[in-house]
């Protein structure tokens, strides 16, 4: 994406109130990108409103050396340069309160442009509502309002666009993903894979949406300079811009939606220092699970005094994270480590002993000082005291140096345990900082039990198979990058914010297409599923329009099972 001429695809005049777009999409990430591409392919005029900046362009302010040591602005600028969301979130978890940045992307492609391109399907069991937290107080339904078989064509359609490489998962009989051959494992990873198999964990190669172009430097975890990684930008937004006439307004922060009765007529945004009202026939919110509910809550009107879609006080509720536990394993020294990262995963313990324990997956993060330091730094709350910040940095650095010695030869894996939705786990506007997000979350004992179960099982089995294992995360650790469910999808307006097509109940032309619609978190990475949801939402918008205008029925948009979309942009 380095050098892509984003400016060429900027709308001529955003503040032009006479222009009414067919579709305005808030957020150009994985969900927005694929919904936008599908709609643009069908001939709609599509405008992406993206808060972030063009990749590799964000410039920090000039800052002195001493100032850089003491201030935190330097760190925020660095995050922006690396495509990260620079806002901090206020957390209230199990009685503790703190503020910290979350590992979420900002800019075209959103998180998908940065993180490791694992595009894994949910399993059939995720759709059926089995298991669950046992009907605890405030527990929300964990059943999908869509049947797995009806959803499968959308998985296939997104996979056809992303073209992942990997190997089929023997634990998932429904896995018919068309996979490219993955790059060969290093000798060390072959050994580890054999050990996992000996431990009865049935490893398979993670479905990674990376093209592995000649000279691929395995930049998983960072912005890709070469369009080699399949993400919301490279396979969604950019084809929509280049091939289908869509437009993108960068550095455009959406404040709220303008409602007229039960319709959205426009989007209030701040762009280039001006407040603008973008008018659109249809609006899709795809700003991520942190921001989409905030936009809905801010969009109050006479008919919807508690915010758009919030008549039943459900927006922001049902927040789910994954309980991620990182562990290190060591292979005997002397084996070649020349091979890809994000190597293999296992779903053997996905459902075990009548409960959902989750999956095990290789991490792509490299065990070096910089990454360890960033990891530790993100665990420590940020203060407003410059000297204290400096002290924290120094301590983190020292700890990271020591840790890097210990983990020099280690390989990192993570377990992902499904989180169930509870009404009191929610996101609300942060009262103390305007525009900010506050998270109220309770890590239930039930989740801790399952997290402990997978930890103990994995540790025991791998040790029995002769692998040295060390769990690094505390038990009650969640992945703030995998927030989901804050505008949950449900079959009835009493149970969720959006209908099975992604349309906000009670608002005619407002849709949500990001991780916030997911009714379950599953034990897998969310990006493929939310992209499939977004594609389904786009099809629903086209279908809805056909019904409104039956005379134009011959102009049929693509249907997921008929059209395999390979919209390629090679030369940018």
Partner 1 sequence: MTTRRLVITGAGSGLGRALAIGFAGDGYDVFGAGRGEAALHETAALCLPGRFHAQPLDVSDDAATTAWIAAIEADHGPIDVVICAAAVYPRAHFLDQPTAQWDEVIRINVSGVANVCRAVLPGMLARYRGRIIVIGSLADMHPIAGASAYSVSKGAVHVLTRAIASEIDRTHFPDVMIGEYLPPATLTGMNGFGLPPEYHYPVVKALACGDALTYSGASYLPQGRMYLDPSPKSVLRNLRRRFLARRRG
For residue 366, the minimal CB distance to partner 1 (Å) is 5
For residue 333, the minimal CB distance to partner 1 (Å) is 5
134 binds partner 1 (CB under 8 A): no
Using CB under 8 A, pick the residue from 67, 337, 492, 566 that binds partner 1. Answer: 337
CA distance linking residue 41 with residue 37, whole number of Å: 6
CA distance linking residue 208 with residue 6, whole number of Å: 26
547 binds partner 1 (CB under 8 A): no
For residue 194, the minimal CB distance to partner 1 (Å) is 17
Pick the closest to residue 412 from 459, 486, 488, 469 (CA basis): 469
Interface with partner 1 by CB under 8 A: which range of 135-143, 198-206, 216-224, 480-488? 216-224
For residue 188, the minimal CB distance to partner 1 (Å) is 8
For residue 470, the minimal CB distance to partner 1 (Å) is 18
- Number of residues binding to partner 1, judged by CB under 8 A: 22
CA distance linking residue 120 with residue 237, whole number of Å: 21
Residues 414-443 that bind partner 1 (CB under 8 A): none
7 binds partner 1 (CB under 8 A): no
Contacts 24+ apart (CB under 8 A), 217-221: 218/340, 218/341, 218/364, 220/115, 220/116, 220/117, 220/341, 220/342, 220/364, 221/114, 221/115, 221/116, 221/364, 221/365, 221/366, 221/371
For residue 340, the minimal CB distance to partner 1 (Å) is 9
CA distance linking residue 562 with residue 153, whole number of Å: 9
Interface with partner 1 by CB under 8 A: which range of 32-40, 114-122, 217-225, 481-489? 217-225
CA distance linking residue 280 with residue 509, whole number of Å: 9
The smaller minimum CB distance to partner 1, of residues 67 and 217, is found at 217
CA distance linking residue 83 with residue 114, whole number of Å: 7
The smaller minimum CB distance to partner 1, of residues 140 and 210, is found at 210
For residue 362, the minimal CB distance to partner 1 (Å) is 15
The smaller minimum CB distance to partner 1, of residues 369 and 540, is found at 369
Using CB under 8 A, pick the residue from 125, 190, 216, 475 that binds partner 1. Answer: 216
User: Tokens 């508690």 identify what position?
Assistant: 306
For residue 404, the minimal CB distance to partner 1 (Å) is 6
Q: How far is CA 84 from CA 42, 53, 104, 539, in A?
A: 32, 10, 6, 30
The smaller minimum CB distance to partner 1, of residues 193 and 477, is found at 193
- Exposure string of 3-41, with b = 16+ CB inside 10 Å and e = fewer, is ebebeebbbeebeeeeeebbbbbbbbbbbbbbbbbbbbb
Interface with partner 1 by CB under 8 A: which range of 7-15, 159-167, 213-221, 498-506? 213-221
Interface with partner 1 by CB under 8 A: which range of 328-336, 459-467, 503-511, 533-541? 328-336
Burial of 472 (0-12, 13-18, 19+ CB in 10 A): middle
For residue 408, the minimal CB distance to partner 1 (Å) is 5
Residue 162-191 contact track with partner 1, rule CB under 8 A, x = bound: ------------------------xx----
Tokens (6 digits) for 160? 């056809």
Using CB under 8 A, pick the residue from 335, 378, 383, 506 that binds partner 1. Answer: 335
For residue 357, the minimal CB distance to partner 1 (Å) is 31
The smaller minimum CB distance to partner 1, of residues 102 and 403, is found at 403
CA distance linking residue 213 with residue 201, whole number of Å: 31
The smaller minimum CB distance to partner 1, of residues 340 and 557, is found at 340
Residues 396-415 that bind partner 1 (CB under 8 A): 404-405, 408-409
For residue 143, the minimal CB distance to partner 1 (Å) is 43
The smaller minimum CB distance to partner 1, of residues 93 and 404, is found at 404
Residues 361-400 that bind partner 1 (CB under 8 A): 366, 368-369
Residue 275-314 contact track with partner 1, rule CB under 8 A, x = bound: ----------------------------------------
Residue 159 — φ and ψ, nearest 5°? -65, -35
User: Tokens 């063009």 identify what position?
Assistant: 54
Using CB under 8 A, pick the residue from 18, 66, 137, 214 that binds partner 1. Answer: 214
Q: How far is CA 426 from CA 92, 313, 329, in A?
A: 10, 11, 35
E-strand spans in 237-319?
Answer: 247-249, 252-260, 263-271, 274-285
CA distance linking residue 150 with residue 428, whole number of Å: 33
- Distinct helix (H) and strand (E) counts, the chain: 12, 18
Residues 460-479 that bind partner 1 (CB under 8 A): none
For residue 218, the minimal CB distance to partner 1 (Å) is 5
215 binds partner 1 (CB under 8 A): yes
Reduced to 3 states, what is the DSSP secondary structure of residue 441? strand
The smaller minimum CB distance to partner 1, of residues 195 and 488, is found at 195
The smaller minimum CB distance to partner 1, of residues 335 and 506, is found at 335
Count other Cβ atoms within 10 Å, centred on residue 195. 18
* SS3 labels along 70-131: HCCHHHHHHHHHCCECCCEEEEEECCEEEEEECCCECCCCHHHHCCCCECCCCCCHHHHCCC
For residue 336, the minimal CB distance to partner 1 (Å) is 2
CB neighbour list of residue 377: distance below 8 Å, 6 or more residues apart: 392, 393, 396
The H-or-E segment that residue 437 falls in is strand 437-441
The smaller minimum CB distance to partner 1, of residues 152 and 216, is found at 216
Interface with partner 1 by CB under 8 A: which range of 7-15, 327-335, 426-434, 479-487? 327-335
Asked if residues 520 and 491 have their Cβ atoms less than 8 Å apart, the reply is no
Interface with partner 1 by CB under 8 A: which range of 47-55, 290-298, 335-343, 467-475? 335-343
Using CB under 8 A, pick the residue from 338, 385, 433, 566 that binds partner 1. Answer: 338
Count other Cβ atoms within 10 Å, centred on residue 225. 14
The alpha carbon of 12 is separated from its chain's Cα centroid by a whole number of angstroms, namely: 30
Q: Which residues would be at the binding site for partner 1 (CB under 8 A)?
A: 186-187, 214-219, 333-338, 341, 366, 368-369, 404-405, 408-409
């Amino acid at each position: 994406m380095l050098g892509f001429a984003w400016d060429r695809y900027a709308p001529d005049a955003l503040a032009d109130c006479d222009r009414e777009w067919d579709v305005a999409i808030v957020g150009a990430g994985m969900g927005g990108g694929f919904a936008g591409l599908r709609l643009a392919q069908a001939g709609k005029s599509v405008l992406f409103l993206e808060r972030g900046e063009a990749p590799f362009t964000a410039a920090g302010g000039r800052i002195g050396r001493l100032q850089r040591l003491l201030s935190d602005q330097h760190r925020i600028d660095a995050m922006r340069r690396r495509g990260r969301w620079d806002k901090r979130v206020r957390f209230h978890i199990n009685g503790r309160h703190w503020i910290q940045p979350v590992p979420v992307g900002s800019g075209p492609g959103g998180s998908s442009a940065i993180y490791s391109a694992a595009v894994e399907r949910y399993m059939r069991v995720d759709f059926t509502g089995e298991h669950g937290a046992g009907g605890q107080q405030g527990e929300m339904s964990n059943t999908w309002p869509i049947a797995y078989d009806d959803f499968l064509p959308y998985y296939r359609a997104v996979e056809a666009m992303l073209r992942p490489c990997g190997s089929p998962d023997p634990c998932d009989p429904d896995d018919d993903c068309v996979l490219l051959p993955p790059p060969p494992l290093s000798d060390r990873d072959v050994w580890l894979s054999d050990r996992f198999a000996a431990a009865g964990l049935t490893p398979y190669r993670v479905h990674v949406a990376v093209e592995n172009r000649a000279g691929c430097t395995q930049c998983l975890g960072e912005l890709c300079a070469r369009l080699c990684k399949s993400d919301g930008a490279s396979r969604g937004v950019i084809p929509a811009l280049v091939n289908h006439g869509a437009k993108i307004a960068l550095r455009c922060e959406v404040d709220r939606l303008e409602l007229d009765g039960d319709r959205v007529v426009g989007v209030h945004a701040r762009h280039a220092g001006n407040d603008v009202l973008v008018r659109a026939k249809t609006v899709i919110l795809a700003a991520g699970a942190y921001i989409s509910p905030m936009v809905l809550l801010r969009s109050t009107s006479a008919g919807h005094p508690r915010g758009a879609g919030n008549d039943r006080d459900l927006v922001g509720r049902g927040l789910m994270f994954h309980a991620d536990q990182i562990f290190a394993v060591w292979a005997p020294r002397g084996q070649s480590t020349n091979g890809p990262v994000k190597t293999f995963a296992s779903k053997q313990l996905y459902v075990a002993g009548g409960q959902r324990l989750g999956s095990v997956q290789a991490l792509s993060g490299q065990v070096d000082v910089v990454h360890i330091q960033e990891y530790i730094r993100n665990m420590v709350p940020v203060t407003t005291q410059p000297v204290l910040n400096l002290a924290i940095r120094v301590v983190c650095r020292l700890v990271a140096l020591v840790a890097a010695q210990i983990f020099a030869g280690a390989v990192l894996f993570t377990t992902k345990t499904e989180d169930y939705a509870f009404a009191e786990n929610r996101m609300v506007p942060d009262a103390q900082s305007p525009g900010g997000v506050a998270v109220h979350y309770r890590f239930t004992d039930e989740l801790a039990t399952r997290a402990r179960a997978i930890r103990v099982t994995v540790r025991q089995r791998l040790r029995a198979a002769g692998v040295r294992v060390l769990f690094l995360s505390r038990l009650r650790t969640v992945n703030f990058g995998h927030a989901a469910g804050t505008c949950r999808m449900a079959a009835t307006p009493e149970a969720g914010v959006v209908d099975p097509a992604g349309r906000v109940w009670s608002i005619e032309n407002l849709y949500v297409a990001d991780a916030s619609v997911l009714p379950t978190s599953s034990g897998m990475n969310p990006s493929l599923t939310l992209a499939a949801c977004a594609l389904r939402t786009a099809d629903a918008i086209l279908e809805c329009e056909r019904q409104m205008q039956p005379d134009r029925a011959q102009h049929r948009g693509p249907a997921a099972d008929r059209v395999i979309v390979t919209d390629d942009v090679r030369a940018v």
